[in-house]
Homo-oligomer: A and B are copies of this chain.
């Protein structure tokens, strides 16, 4: 049900079409809970059926075409609040890279090293992209965030922004842990190969 909550949080920033939602999703809350468009549209329909959101046609273009705009309902807001009160369900660990590392004895030396180097690169990119997100929040250049703030009293702005930054900092810490792990691993591999093949 996290997808549902994620979409609702987006709609608390104001009414949007499915397309807008999908786009905003990918540039904000999607960093915390990813979903492809193909999951978003059907979910919106279901949420409308359950009256968590309200969908209505708005004109589009000149030829009388319409698109559907969605707005969160009172029920939807309650849903968010209830959700926040429920216990988080922790999914059991499933880490492909960790699994591999545990059985590197079946990998060629080059493959093991490549695996960890890739890991390093991957999380370095994560760090960069999350730093970008945090910067955008801090200097208010995130469009959806501006829209959100505009709907709340100014006194609440700091904490609303702070929560988002805090969440991103969590990803940052994870990524940094992964980077440090990969570096340790590369050092370990280095040590093992030099021990096996001492230089003459």
How near does chain B come to A19, taking the closest CB pair, in angstroms?
A: 20
A131 at the interface (CB under 8 A from B): no
| Bound Cα distance from A112 to B6, whole angstroms | 17
Q: Mark A70-96, 1 if CB is under 8 A from B, else 0.
A: 000000010011011101111011111
Contact (Cβ within 8 A) B9 A159: no
Residue contact B32 to A106, C-beta cutoff 8 Å: no
Which chain B residues border A169 with CB–CB below 8 Å? 181, 184
Asked if B105 contacts A88 (CB within 8 A), the reply is: no
Q: Does A150 count as interface, using CB distance less than 8 angstroms? A: no
Indicate whether A84 sits within 8 Å of B97 (C-beta atoms), given known contacts A176-B177, A181-B170. Answer: no
Let me know if B166 and A101 touch, CB within 8 A.
Answer: yes
- Chain B residues near A122: list those with CB within 8 A: 90
The oligomer's copy count stands at 2
Contacts of A83 in B (CB 8 A): 100
Among B31, B93, B111, B168, point to the contact of A84 (Cβ < 8 A). B111
Q: Of all chain B residues, which has the CB nearest A78?
A: B106
Q: How far is the CA of A30 from the CA of B178 in the complex (A)?
A: 20
A103 on the interface (CB 8 Å rule)?
yes
Given A88-B119, A169-B184, residue A106 in contact with residue B80 (CB < 8 A)? yes
Among candidates B33, B87, B99, B111, residue contacting A32 with C-beta atoms closer than 8 Å: B99
Q: Flag if B105 contacts A85 (CB, 8 Å).
A: no
Q: Which residues of B contact A139 (CB under 8 A)?
A: none
Is A23 an interface residue when CB atoms closer than 8 A count as contact?
Answer: no
Contact with B along A112-128 (1 / 0, CB 8 A): 10010011001000000
* B6 and A98 contacting across the interface, CB-CB below 8 Å: no
